[in-house]
């Protein structure tokens, strides 16, 4: 994308006669380069951008088991909650419940425990490697949730290394869906 933007910016806004630069985009087939031909102010710029064939998306059959909880949360709130976790810990615990605490993320480490709930804030701790604990509550009727459907209390543990790739997507999205299905035997 950077190569394309740099190529397009080389010819400027307008030619001497007041017309804009001429642009031709060519993509012949899979594995061929994406070609950009740009002519402006008497200069011809030709750029060939290498393309890659993507893997087909993996199809998950998530509908085959009962949905235990489905949350649609504002991504800014979820990004804030994820940002509070201790990423040096390998695991993250997610608790979703129809009763208090409703939505809780927890990450424990040698330094103590970090619990992310939202709305009320409780900070306990010391500076350095001593115990610390952060609790922030997310009640189900808060503005953070567009949808909060939960039939029973669910607690699951995820590897933070599996959640980390999602953080960038969450921070640029408007809404995020969290859905937990029943485990099939």
Give start and end residues of each alpha helix (H) in the chain: 2-9, 75-84, 160-172
Q: What is the mean pLDDT of each run of 10 residues along the chain (185 residues)?
A: 64 60 83 82 80 71 78 90 80 86 75 51 45 59 87 90 89 90 71
Closest-CA residue to 115 (of 102, 127, 126, 128)? 102
Tell me the per-residue pLDDT of 76-107, one tens digit each, with 9 for 90 and over: 988 888 887 777 778 888 888 998 878 888 77
21 prior amide bond cis, ω within 30? no
User: What is the C-alpha separation between 42 and 21, in angstroms, rounded?
Assistant: 9
What domains can you pick out in the chain, each with its CATH number? 2-49 (no CATH), 64-181 (3.70.10.10)
Tell me the residue length of the chain: 185
């Amino acid at each position: 994308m950077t190569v394309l933007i740099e190529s397009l910016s080389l010819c400027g806004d307008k030619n001497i006669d007041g017309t804009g630069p001429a642009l031709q985009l060519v993509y012949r087939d899979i594995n061929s380069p994406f070609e950009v031909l740009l002519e402006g102010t008497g200069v011809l710029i030709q750029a060939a951008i290498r393309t890659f064939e993507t893997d087909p998306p993996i199809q998950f059959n998530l509908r085959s088991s009962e949905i235990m909880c489905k949350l649609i949360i504002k991504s800014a709130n979820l990004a804030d909650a994820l940002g509070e976790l201790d990423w040096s810990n390998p695991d993250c615990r997610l608790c979703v419940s129809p009763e208090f605490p409703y939505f809780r993320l927890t990450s424990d480490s040698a330094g103590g425990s970090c619990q992310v709930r939202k709305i009320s804030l409780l900070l306990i701790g010391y500076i350095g490697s001593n115990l610390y604990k952060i609790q922030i509550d997310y009640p189900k009727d808060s503005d953070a949730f567009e949808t909060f459907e939960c039939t029973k209390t669910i607690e699951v543990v995820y590897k933070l290394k599996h959640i980390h790739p999602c953080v960038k997507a969450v921070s640029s999205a408007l809404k995020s869906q969290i859905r937990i299905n029943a485990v099939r035997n």
